[in-house]
Homo-oligomer: A and B are copies of this chain.
Amino acid sequence: MEFGYAATSLDAVAERLGSTKGRIYHHYRSKADLYFDVQATAMSRLQQEVEPIARGPGTPVERLAAMALRHTQILLTELPMQKVAVQGLERHPLGAAVRRLRSVIRMRDDYEALFAEVIDQGIRAGALIDLPPQLATKPFFGAMNWATVWYSQRRLQGAEAINDIAHMLAACAMRGLLKDPNHGSARQAAVLRHDLG
């Protein structure tokens, strides 16, 4: 997270771990291999936490609001790991690791599809604005994921202050897609502390 993928050497990683490059190579074939392990671990975390909400009970708006909140909470509390997961990798020479890139891209697509499905249900129920669901995920994720660009935890910022930001971002993401934030369907997003209206 500090220096980006290209500028971070395995020597620097080993030093930070108090370990050696040899030990890292014992577990990973290359820097790209290690990097994709971080991405895959971060994507699994998100998927594990959010999928049960998507498939669980409740109206589409209720579920989408809870999904957005959980997504943002994980993002902000596990920022170093999640930053690489949501921003992904610029085109780097990856060599043999290109197969792992494909698998990470598939994980990300599956995760986005979870949201697109619930958004689609919300559109059909008349609660969300009429956009192609996959396109609708873009500004929705943007309102939340942009935090990986601007946010950095302040030294004395406690868990509750971070949670407040998560609620605020999730509420703005929801409002962006809601047909009428003052309508009854919006009140189903009561999981969010912020009034949607």
Contacts and interface: CB of A to CB of B under 8 A. Distances in A.
Interface of A: 2-7, 86-88, 90-92, 129, 131, 135-136, 138-147, 149-151, 165, 168-169, 172-173, 175-182, 194-195, 197
Number of copies: 2
Contact of A92 (B3, B176, B177): B3
A91 B143 contact: no
What are the nearest 5 A-B pairs in CB distance? A142-B146, A139-B172, A6-B7, A6-B6, A139-B143
Given A6-B6, A182-B180, A149 B145 contact: yes
Nearest to A165: B135
Given A139-B169, A139-B172, A169-B138, A3 B145 contact: no
